[in-house]
């Protein structure tokens, strides 16, 4: 995969996956160990059909925004999907811009009378970042860490801490134990070999059977997008056909058929590799024989005519095996270097 992962199909697929509110809630329940998570019900989550991404970052990220009412107060979950593989140390600053933009929009759509009310409150905004790059996330998690003299002013300066979902850092055995839609997505998103991909698909068959029908359709789309870059054209067509025709009641058959397609591709790849290896080996062997014969020809010519001109030696070293053999066969008939030069034309 290229280093800059800008709008890859499965990156965009994250937006598709987590725009499904049951799956978004599963993300929170699986990876956010906070009491407030238990207060959220999927039926209370409302997906906001708007993006707040600044134009400068439109090629590097996407976002998902949910609103929910908890204990009578509106709360906004702002999930930033980070597509670039490098770590952006401006992240706290960027999140602040988005949080302020959410508040500005709330104020814009609220009457002045309500805003002036003593009990008026802005909604709490919970910032989150989902990052699936290989590099370890080393950007500051707390906003105050990017402010100069923050130790001096302490609680008198603005601060917040965002939640980070760092896909590559999650332990694979932990993801396997979770056995849910989100852990399956994270498990399959890691850059792995075709053999490992197949092993993980077999491990996730259980999950595919127990998720909701809607999640199953979403996951099939996801599988299609992550498998595309790893397959040749013929295998892509087969895999797409298998996924499109499969229903949730046929998970075992689907995984088995996917396995056969990938196994065939791996086997064909190995056979092709062996053929190329044999060809390369034979070619290397021929070259070694040619070098040996050219060395013998040069020795015999040197014995007969003395030290050969450097350019003649270089040209003899490059002659094909057949020509070298002819020179050696006729060594006693050669009267001068001019006659040797005839073989070098």
pLDDT digits (tens, 9 = 90+) for 29-77: 999 999 999 999 999 999 998 888 766 666 667 889 999 999 889 999 9
Is 280 part of any domain?
A: no
Predicted confidence at residue 342, as pLDDT, reads: 85
Predicted confidence at residue 279, as pLDDT, reads: 57
Q: Give CA–CA dist 131/11, Å, rounded.
A: 10
User: What are the tens digits of pLDDT across the range 205-215?
Assistant: 778 888 888 98
Q: Which of 169, 202, 218 is the last residue of a domain?
A: 169
Query: Residue 129's domain spans which residues?
Result: 1-169
Domain total of the chain: 2
Is 226 part of any domain?
A: no
CA dihedral 108, 109, 113, 116 (to 10 degrees): -50
Predicted confidence at residue 1, as pLDDT, reads: 42
Q: Would you give the DSSP letter of residue 128?
A: E
Q: ∠ at Cα 83 (261, 173), nearest 5°?
A: 55
Mean pLDDT, range 253-278, rounded to an integer: 61
Is 270 part of any domain?
A: no
Q: How many helices (H) and strands (E) does the chain have?
A: 15, 5
Task: Indicate if 146 and 292 belong to the same structural domain.
Answer: no
Is 183 part of any domain?
A: no
Output Rg (C-alpha) for the chain, integer angstroms: 33
Task: Indicate if 10 and 146 belong to the same structural domain.
Answer: yes
Is 276 part of any domain?
A: no
Q: Which of 169, 184, 216 is the last residue of a domain?
A: 169
Is 36 part of any domain?
A: yes
Is 189 part of any domain?
A: no
Query: CA 240 from chain center: how many Å?
Result: 20
User: What are the tens digits of pLDDT across the range 310-344?
Assistant: 889 888 888 888 888 888 878 877 888 888 888 88
Is 138 part of any domain?
A: yes
Q: Which of 138, 169, 200 is the last residue of a domain?
A: 169
Task: Indicate if 157 and 299 belong to the same structural domain.
Answer: no
For the whole prediction, is pTM greater than 0.95?
no
Strand-pairing partners, residue 160, are none
């Amino acid at each position: 995969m290229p280093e800059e992962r800008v709008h890859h199909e499965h990156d965009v697929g994250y937006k598709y996956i987590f725009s499904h509110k049951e799956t978004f809630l599963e993300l929170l329940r699986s990876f956010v160990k906070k009491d407030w998570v238990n207060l959220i019900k999927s039926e209370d989550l409302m997906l906001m059909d708007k993006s707040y991404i600044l134009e400068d970052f439109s090629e590097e990220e996407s976002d998902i925004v949910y609103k929910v009412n908890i204990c009578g107060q509106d709360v906004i979950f702002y999930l930033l999907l980070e597509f670039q593989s490098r770590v952006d140390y401006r992240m706290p600053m960027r999140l602040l811009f988005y949080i302020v933009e959410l508040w500005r929009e709330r104020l814009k759509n609220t009457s002045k009378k309500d805003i002036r009310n003593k009990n008026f409150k802005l909604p709490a905004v919970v910032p989150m970042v989902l990052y699936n790059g290989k590099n370890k996330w080393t950007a500051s998690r707390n906003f105050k860490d990017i402010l100069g003299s923050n130790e001096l002013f302490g609680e008198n300066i603005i601060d917040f801490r965002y939640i980070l979902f760092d896909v590559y850092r999650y332990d694979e055995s932990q993801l396997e134990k979770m056995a849910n839609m989100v852990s399956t997505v994270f498990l399959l998103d890691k850059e792995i070999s075709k053999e490992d991909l197949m092993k993980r698909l077999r491990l996730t068959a259980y999950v595919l059977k127990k998720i909701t029908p809607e999640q199953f359709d979403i996951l099939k789309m996801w599988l299609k997008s992550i498998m595309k870059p790893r397959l040749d054209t013929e295998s892509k067509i087969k895999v797409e056909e298998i996924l499109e025709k499969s229903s949730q009641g046929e998970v075992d058959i689907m995984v088995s058929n996917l396995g056969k397609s990938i196994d065939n591709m791996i086997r064909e790849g190995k056979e092709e590799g062996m053929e190329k290896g044999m060809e390369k080996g034979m070619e290397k062997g021929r070259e070694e024989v040619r070098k040996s014969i050219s060395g013998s020809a040069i020795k015999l010519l040197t014995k007969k005519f003395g030290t050969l001109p450097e350019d003649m030696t270089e040209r003899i070293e490059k002659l094909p095996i057949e020509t070298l053999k002819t020179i050696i066969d006729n060594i006693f008939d050669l009267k001068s270097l001019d006659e040797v030069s005839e073989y070098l034309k």
